[in-house]
Every structure is written in structure tokens, then in C-alpha cells.
Amino acid sequence: MILENSYDEAMRYVENARVQLKQAGKDDKFYVDDKYVKAASGIAYSGLLKALDFLFDIKKVQKKRGRKSIDYYRTVLSGMDKKLLNNLNTSYQILHLAGYYEGEKKINVIEEGFDSALTIIDALKKYSKNGKK
């Protein structure tokens, strides 16, 4: 993995997710088309997992074989950074479960999930040329 560009790579996911949200359309406090909200939520959640994988590589966390579960990420973060753990839990609940699986369309709820994901991704800045190319 190219760790020096890890921040840019994770942010690319969030930017792609924002494009999906624009396609969803808005009606008052809700997105209109849940298809795009589901896609955006899944993409943003994938970006934060990518960021955590980069962060774990940087911190020399022992890699897990096979598919990683939310429990793996929670366990590692519980010993590393409680703030990131709280943001992971929020992002998981909002983006992965409510947004992606259940089709949550309330704008401010989805934005809270994005904010938590961005907090995790921002943790890479100091390892990734400070978030600059």
C-alpha cells in the first residue's frame, strides 16, 4: 500500500459518496431516492474502513487473515484511540446499518455518519504528507 497517499485515497471514497448523494435529490429534510443514499453510505463506510486499514498498517497492527469484521476494528481501536472508536461506532450505525441496509434518508442523520467517517480519515493526515499531494 502507498501509505503516503492514504489520506487522499480514503478521501476519494468520500468524494465519490458525495456525488451519489447529489444524485439522490432533496425534499425538505430528506433525500428523495434511497438508491443513491444507500450507495453513498456504503461508499463512505468503505472509505473509512480503508482509512483504518492504512492507519493499522502505519501503527504496525498485526493483520488478520480473511475478512475483517466490525469486531476486529473495534477491538484494535479500543486499545488505540477511544475517540476513533466512538466515531467508528457512529459511522457503523449510521452509514452501514441505517444508511446502507435500511435506507435512512434523513439528511442530518446521514451527514452525522459522514462527519464521523471524516474524523477517522482525518487521523491519517499526519502520516500522509499532511493530507497534501
Domains and CATH numbers, the chain: 3-127 (1.20.120.330)
CA-CA distance, 51 to 42, in Å (whole number)? Answer: 14
DSSP strand pairing (26-27 vs 30-31): antiparallel
Residue that the C-alpha cell 452525522 belongs to? 112
Torsional sign, CA 46, 47, 52, 57: positive
Q: At 3, is the pLDDT very low, low, confident or very high (cuts 50, 70, 90)?
A: low
- Specify the pLDDT at position 132: 52
| Arithmetic mean of pLDDT, 18-34 | 97
Q: Residue 19 contacts by C-beta under 8 Å, 6 or more apart in sequence?
A: none
Q: At what angle do helices 6-24 and 34-58 cross, to 10 degrees?
A: 170
CA-CA distance, 85 to 27, in Å (whole number)? Answer: 33
- Specify the pLDDT at position 128: 72
CA-CA distance, 10 to 93, in Å (whole number)? Answer: 19
| Arithmetic mean of pLDDT, 72-83 | 96
| Arithmetic mean of pLDDT, 63-91 | 94
pLDDT tens-digit readout, 28-76: 999 999 999 999 999 999 999 999 999 999 999 988 888 899 999 999 9
- Three-class secondary structure of residue 40 per DSSP: helix
- Three-class secondary structure of residue 95 per DSSP: helix
pLDDT tens-digit readout, 111-129: 999 999 999 999 988 877 6
pTM score > 0.85 for this model? Answer: yes
Rounded to whole angstroms, the maximal C-alpha distance in the chain is 46
Q: Which three cell numbers stand for residue 21?
A: 448523494
Q: Would you say residue 2 has pLDDT above 90?
A: no
Q: Would you say residue 130 has pLDDT above 70?
A: no
